[in-house]
Amino acid sequence: MAILLALALFPPVAAALGLDFYIGFVRRVLVVALAAASLNFIMGFGGMVALGHAGFMGVGAYAVVLLSDAGFASAWVMWPAAALLAAFAALVIGSISLRTKGVYFIMITLAFAQMLYFVFVSLRSYGGDDGYTLMARPALGMGLEMADEATLYWVVLAIVAALLWWLDRAAGSRFGAALVGIRDNEIRMRALGYPVYLLQLTAFVVAGAIAGLAGALLATGNSFVSPSMMHWTQSATLIVMVIIGGLGRRWGGPVGAAVWLALEEALKLHTSHWHMPLGLLLIATALYAPKGLAALSDLWARSKP
């Protein structure tokens, strides 16, 4: 709650300090944190290492473009539609991919993501490789002005906070416990009568829908979409964020996304070789904090008298 309050107060504080640029930056961190949390839900709790999660973000982003071109103007229509379209894509991809295991699952999700990437690259009417700029942001209605960065920030914060809370509850529910059981011992869960394929597919579709919504929020904030946002390197970056934050930790995705993007932004101000320190961070995490940065709170709690 303290973090949520601090985030809610950030826009007026940033404006008073002349740091208006960082309102958009923190909003982007929130959206990417949501996408990383959705990946952590299937990878950390379900053991499904999907190397194509950014593809669902791209589907959600381009859904906003397609709906805008079709004449829709309301964000409250575009965002749920983007999530539903991404959920459908996840249903199709997941129904095939989940019939494989291990490295084959990793590669087939990568293959599907690259197929989506090349499909949108081929859409010359929407800019192809160069991307597409939205003429105007979707409307919020209810007297809310989408052009105001602070207003959009607060709307995104409310959506992200609600979905992170839901993911946290889902991870701690019987459904989340079943996913963890499948991750740890799938054969035993099948023997106990659990519908393993159905549970995994449900989690995969939910994660895809949330990633699609994250992509729609990114497209709305940037007023621009590009196929590059669904390239496999973006999916790999999401996996790295989850690992740094804590694989299978309830707040691993948001922590990893916040740390990664904050360091990236800070390092870019001082060097063009900013990838190297971030690579060293990943190595240090793997060696000295294998449970992720989010697990450090447990060490702090145990050290208290």
In a domain, 170, yes or no: yes
State the pLDDT at residue 286: 84
State the pLDDT at residue 300: 54
- Which pTM was predicted? 0.93
In a domain, 133, yes or no: yes
State the pLDDT at residue 296: 73
* pLDDT at residue 61 is higher than 70: yes
State the pLDDT at residue 303: 54
Q: What is the mean pLDDT of the chain?
A: 91
In a domain, 279, yes or no: no
Mean pLDDT of 181-196: 95
CB 150 within 8 A of CB 92: no
In a domain, 217, yes or no: yes
* pLDDT at residue 301 is higher than 80: no
**Tens digits of residue pLDDT in 240-299:** 999 999 998 888 999 999 999 999 999 988 888 888 888 888 888 888 888 888 877 655
* pLDDT at residue 196 is higher than 70: yes
State the pLDDT at residue 298: 59
Task: Find the radius of gyration of the CA atoms of the chain.
Answer: 19
Separation CA 229–CA 116 (nearest Å): 11
Separation CA 273–CA 61 (nearest Å): 29
DSSP letter, residue 135: S
Separation CA 50–CA 2 (nearest Å): 33
Q: To 5 degrees, how large is the angle CA 128–CA 114–CA 95?
A: 125
Share of the chain above pLDDT 70, in %: 97
State the pLDDT at residue 282: 87
Domain containing 45 equals 2-230
DSSP letter, residue 141: B
C-alpha distance from residue 1 to each of 4, 6, 151, 160 (Å): 5, 9, 20, 14
Beta partners for 224? 133
C-alpha distance from residue 281 to each of 238, 275, 292 (Å): 15, 10, 11
* pLDDT at residue 302 is higher than 60: no
In a domain, 239, yes or no: no
In a domain, 46, yes or no: yes
Separation CA 140–CA 145 (nearest Å): 7
* pLDDT at residue 6 is higher than 90: yes
Would you call 225 helix, strand, or coil by DSSP? strand
Separation CA 58–CA 228 (nearest Å): 9
In a domain, 165, yes or no: yes
In a domain, 258, yes or no: no
Mean pLDDT of 224-234: 92
Share of the chain above pLDDT 90, in %: 71
| Kind of pairing between the strands at 132-133 and 224-225 | antiparallel
**Other Cβ atoms within 10 Å of 50 Cβ, number:** 30
Our count of domains for the chain comes to 1
State the pLDDT at residue 203: 97
Separation CA 150–CA 144 (nearest Å): 10
